[in-house]
Structures are given as structure tokens and as C-alpha cells.
A and B are shown apart, each in its own frame.
Chain A
């Protein structure tokens, strides 16, 4: 089984809809991240969490919110989706004191 999973893997939604992307990990890492990837813009950090009670905004947090329900689960919400939130979204985990980030398989989101 994959260590970092994301659901759904693909999603099409309409402008104004609320949508949640979920990330789960079995690696036991305390740090979790949400990124989006756009052609020509690379990976950009949306939110990150160092533990259940420590959540921080990243470079592009506007229009997004997150919830760290447990050490293993980190969800990203788009309260009212807009077309420019169409992107590939990645969750990542990292263990404290170590450098390697482990990425999930990604969620491809299309907002019409």
C-alpha cells in the first residue's frame, strides 16, 4: 500500500462549489504539506502543518482552508471553487529533523 494517499485522484467541479481534497499517510510523519502545481509556475505551497495544533499559511493560501484531523490526515478545502484553482494538487509529508518530503500521487482538479 502507498505511504501517502490522496483522494480523489481526479475531480471535476463547478464554480462556486465547495470541495475537499484528502490526504492520509502511514509513515508516522508529523509534518504535512499541501502544494499546487501549475504549468510554468511550478510547485507552490498552500498550507503546512507541523502537528495537529500547528497549521501555517504558505505562499498562496487565499481561497483555501485546511484541517489536520489527526497526525495521519490533512485535508484541503476550497470553500467556493473558481476556475483559476484548476491545478494538480499534491500532499507531502516529512519527518521532523529529516529533509526528505514524500509526495502523494496528486489530485487533478478541474473547476468549470
Chain B
């Protein structure tokens, strides 16, 4: 069974701090990992994705992969109140026709 697990939170951080979000996945063959942001009542939007060959930084966001422990993390530096949202982790499993599997999401609140 393909599983993607996230701590549902809520996670609260003060404005300007680093928010750290984590996600574990079950299939070692996974090669594509995604982080989506979903504001309340809105649809998910992609923040960034990484492949199994390396981490990625994009502005205040950094996605990191630990293949040995099968988890993906998202770091948000200099957190802003506008970062308050639910963050969804997704994994694409190649042996399932490249289907996307999503975690349940972590709710983040950035306190001004």
C-alpha cells in the first residue's frame, strides 16, 4: 500500500522563525516528491518539487529528501502570516502508472 504520512499539526511558529514540515513515504522506489499549499477553502497549489537526486531551494522555501529514512521535509524561512495554510506532501509512485499520493496535510499558523 502506498502511504504518505504527515503530522496533522497544528504547527504554530512566530513570525520570522523557521517552520519545519515533515512527510514520510512508504515506497523506496519513489523518485518525485511535491509540496503543495492549500489555504482554507481554496484549491492546492504547488510550492515546489524535488527528485530523488537532490534538494532544492526556492526563495524562502527549501525541500530536502532523506532517502535512507524515507522522509521529505519543507523548511520555510522567515515565516510570514501569509504562510498560514495547510501544507500537503505528495509522492509520485512510478509502479502505479505514476499516480500521485497525498498526505493528509499539516496545518501551519504563523503568529504575528
Q: What is A's interface to B at a CB cutoff of 8 Å?
A: 33, 35, 40-45, 48, 56, 58-59, 90, 99-101, 103-106
Contacts and interface: CB of A to CB of B under 8 A. Distances in A.
B46 A101 contact: yes
Contact of B101 (A48, A59, A99, A103): A59
A44 B8 CA distance: 16
B99 A58 contact: yes
Interface of B: 2, 4, 8, 32, 34, 42-46, 49, 88, 90, 97, 99-105
A36 to B, nearest CB: 11
Contacts of A90: 43-44
Contacts of A59: 2, 99, 101
12 contacts: A42-B88, A43-B44, A44-B102, A45-B99, A45-B100, A45-B101, A59-B99, A59-B101, A100-B46, A101-B46, A103-B43, A106-B43
A40 B97 CA distance: 25
B49 A99 contact: yes
Nearest to B5: A42
Contacts of A58: 99
A30 to B, nearest CB: 13
Give the interface centre of A33, A40, A48, A99 by most chain B CB atoms within 10 Å. A99
